[in-house]
């Protein structure tokens, strides 16, 4: 699920089936981190969803 708010992009990645697996969580986290290595992004967990906030503005002014 991807949506936008105030010209910032927020991405939520979650896996309902394996949401309780700590190993899977860290794997998912590292995947997202690698994918966003060129972005100014912060990653954090909210309940069982991985929240990725891309801090760099995109789109119009």
| pLDDT one-digit tens code per residue, 19-52 | 556 676 677 777 776 766 655 566 666 665 666 6
pLDDT at 27: 75
- Provide the residue ranges of all domains of the chain, joining segments of one domain with +: 2-54
The residue whose two tokens read 């990653």 is 43
pTM comes to 0.34
Alpha-carbon distances of 37 from 25, 40, 61, rounded to whole Å: 18, 8, 24
For domain 2-54, which CATH number applies: 3.10.450, 3.30.1460, 3.30.1070, 3.40.50?
Answer: 3.30.1070
């Amino acid at each position: 699920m991807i949506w936008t708010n105030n010209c910032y992009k927020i991405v939520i990645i979650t896996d309902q089936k394996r949401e309780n697996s700590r190993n899977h969580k860290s794997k998912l986290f590292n995947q997202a981190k690698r994918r966003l290595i060129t972005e100014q992004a912060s990653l954090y967990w909210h309940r069982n969803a991985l929240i990725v906030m891309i801090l760099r503005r995109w789109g119009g002014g």
